[in-house]
Structure 1
């Protein structure tokens, strides 16, 4: 009888890993792993590794804690507690996996590492450093392949009539605006912007973080036009005046005149003056 009564407690105590808590909360909320991946923008492979407490599959200690906190938010668990539990498990895994200390006598030739072993370790270390450098470059630098694909998509899909429309005269507007009024771009979310020359070639580009502002230089206003692939994520103001959306959502637009008068004309309904090209932006996996 005593064994039967204690059996349920042992079953409950078996669930002690943080990954089990996250998985049970996800299942209780009726979410799939793909749903959590969509909410957190973390790959399913990494989420699965967290549920299994298999931290060796993740890039590093900082990422383990950050991914676990994001997972906790997605399933309405206290992220601070989850992060603390994850850190404890990392410490346990780190110290539990250490080999038992064994005395080392450096003067004993039989215990000294051979030259081949030394060179092997050096080569492995160099490969790891190179791999880390490549990973950092790919994770920090903007995706130039995506930019090139967006530019090519706009060029291929642009009709001759659209090209002719871009050469029309500036729109007439009743609103007065100073020719040197500051043009400021603000990222509402992370957004890529490019500046095209007279031939439509993107000469300069940058990425704005959420809340970051960028005042367009006077030389850019005269020489370039604006393009972006997420118009709804970009706020454009002229002398502090919001000119409104510069194109349909999730659409690659280009040929947006940066001249203050043209931008104010857009706010007043004179969008025909700039006639930016609009094509669906290619979707890529992050």
Structure 2
């Protein structure tokens, strides 16, 4: 194979873009860019960009195709073929400029968080959850929705005056004669029962739930400063110095404002005896 046989093939391979075909046709016709600019009325800068297939230098796709077809007419090339080739090259260039899609592999260790980072995030989440739990315990009363509902029910269906015996001065004097005024006040749960202690403004400052059989001795300071609140009065036995005060309110009714002072509780006990002497006598009589 001679050099003459190889040279044309190499020359054909060198022409890979439409701009190269236009440039070679211009040079073969002995024309300069200025001559083509005069024939087509296209600036030399745009003609040079077409020859380099640098279509980004041109105003837009429509102008690129139109300029290329005009250039082809000026150098006696088939303008329809040149126009189609330019459009194809524009599409290829646009596709090549797109970012390559890189498939994400979940099992790629380089993309997964390290074990240290994972454990750090877990510890932070646990600390936040613990802090929230402590905040709830210290600042929010459990059963708050239930208490609010009970309070609303109490406003609508609280026992009328006189349903729960009011302490009387005579009863207090009678009870105080047998039991000391500083006798311990003890609350005993007959079944699970919720109790709360309200301050002078009616706000529940402390609360607790007593299980069946559990007792709670009211501190003397509580007896002086707070009143008793409960939602199941029949489940709570109140004693002063060992004496049963009796019912502190109608069954299954939220009662509040029950004084915890021994004298007031003794007066309530006397009132209960006066209202229901038969029940009091039954409690007092020994069981056979």
Structure label with greater radius of gyration: 2
TM-score range for the pair, normalised by the shorter chain length: 0.3 to 0.5
The TM-score with structure 2 as length reference comes to 0.43
